[in-house]
């Protein structure tokens, strides 16, 4: 691992998610205390996401060695199965975050992982898996130097990054760092020069407000924003505030950002413990030539797909049921991590 140099020192930056991919990385559901008796349904949901993405680009599914046969059977022959020690299945957050040099070279950043502010115990395997993936790829590794999950950030590939204060400034992540130090870490490791700070994420989001449940870039200068239709919904005021923040800033190129609203699912569902089930159409995976987005058996499923198709013209929009994934605390973007196309930098 590079102990002193940072990606920005070597001209590397985090590309946009719509740039060409080498493959998609996922992790097989594993944590019994999280999934409980719904684990078989989680297996089926993850397998369907993997098979759908495999129609656009290669997919590598990491699983515990003892789950290899089961994962292979469920995912089918078009999905590569990679046996490695893991604790659970949120590849966006525990996997590596890739950076590129703009000339066809790819490297990886490996950040500290503490299971969303110690929301779960026994996360040592997930804290290490990003490094194991990069070792398997024979790829240069940079240490991020702080706790960071991939779901807490979104980059446009042109120097602008979206995140939330609720997550990155939370005492359960990096209490020893100031806001300025966190910004410097993001700039040096991800090659960004403008950070757009949103306020809060969704109500009852156990990730402490991951941005990938509420907003993402949809091309240069455009932000897709989660928005409840009901003004009395607790998320409505949060998202209106976030919209105002986006409209008040300029991106790294000095341009104003256009906001495209995508509706919140109408059904207000609860988890077994009484917390609100977090559902979002923003939390989709942009694949080579396609967008794989969640459906929730909701009246807004069709409307959201139309907006997504307009936001990503020329891509095939595929909808995959995601209520079972939501029961675990996330959606399709949370369980996937794209590896940019290119040769591994050594």
CA–CA distance, 337 with 328 (Å, rounded to integer): 17
Q: Which residue stretches of the chain are H helix?
A: 32-35, 39-54, 68-75, 91-94, 115-118, 124-137, 165-168, 179-190, 234-248, 301-311, 323-328
CA–CA distance, 64 with 272 (Å, rounded to integer): 27
At residue 20's C-alpha, the angle toward residues 202 and 129, to 5°, is 60
Contact 291, 318 (CB under 8 A): yes
CA–CA distance, 174 with 168 (Å, rounded to integer): 8
**40: Cα within 13 Å, side-chain hemisphere:** 1
CA–CA distance, 287 with 58 (Å, rounded to integer): 10
167 is catalytic: no
Residues with Cβ within 8 Å of 219's Cβ and at least 6 positions away in sequence, in order, are: 18, 311, 312
CA–CA distance, 272 with 152 (Å, rounded to integer): 25
CA–CA distance, 2 with 9 (Å, rounded to integer): 11
Would you please indicate which residues are annotated as catalytic (active-site) residues? 334
């Amino acid at each position: 691992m590079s102990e002193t140099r940072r990606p920005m020192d070597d001209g590397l930056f985090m590309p946009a998610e719509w740039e060409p991919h080498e493959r998609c990385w996922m992790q097989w559901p594993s944590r019994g205390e999280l999934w409980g008796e719904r684990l078989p349904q989680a297996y089926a949901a993850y397998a369907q996401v993997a098979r759908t993405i495999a129609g656009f680009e290669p997919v590598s599914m990491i699983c515990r060695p003892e789950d290899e046969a089961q994962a292979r059977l469920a995912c089918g022959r078009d999905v590569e199965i990679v046996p490695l020690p893991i604790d659970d299945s949120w590849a966006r957050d525990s996997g590596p975050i890739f950076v590129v040099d703009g000339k066809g070279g790819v490297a990886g950043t490996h950040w500290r992982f503490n299971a969303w502010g110690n929301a779960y115990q026994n996360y040592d395997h997930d804290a290490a898996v990003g490094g194991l993936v990069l070792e398997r790829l024979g790829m240069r590794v940079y240490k991020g130097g702080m706790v960071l999950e991939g779901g807490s950030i979104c980059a446009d590939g042109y120097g602008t990054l979206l995140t939330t204060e609720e997550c990155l400034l939370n005492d359960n992540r990096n209490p020893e760092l100031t806001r300025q130090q966190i910004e410097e870490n993001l700039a040096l490791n991800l090659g960004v020069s403008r950070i757009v700070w949103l306020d809060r994420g969704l109500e009852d989001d156990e990730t402490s407000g991951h941005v990938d449940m509420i907003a993402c870039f949809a091309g240069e200068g455009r932000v897709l924003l989660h928005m409840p239709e009901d003004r009395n919904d607790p998320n409505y005021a949060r998202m209106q505030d976030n919209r105002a923040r986006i409209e008040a800033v300029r991106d790294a190129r000095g341009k104003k950002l256009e906001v495209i609203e995508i509706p919140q699912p109408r059904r207000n569902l609860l988890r077994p413990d009484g917390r609100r089930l977090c559902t979002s159409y923003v939390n989709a995976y942009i694949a080579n030539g396609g967008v794989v987005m969640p459906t929730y058996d909701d009246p807004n499923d069709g409307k959201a797909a139309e907006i997504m198709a307009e936001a990503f013209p020329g891509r095939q929009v595929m909808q995959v049921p995601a209520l079972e994934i939501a029961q675990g605390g996330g959606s399709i973007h949370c369980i996937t991590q794209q590896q940019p196309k290119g040769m591994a930098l050594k």
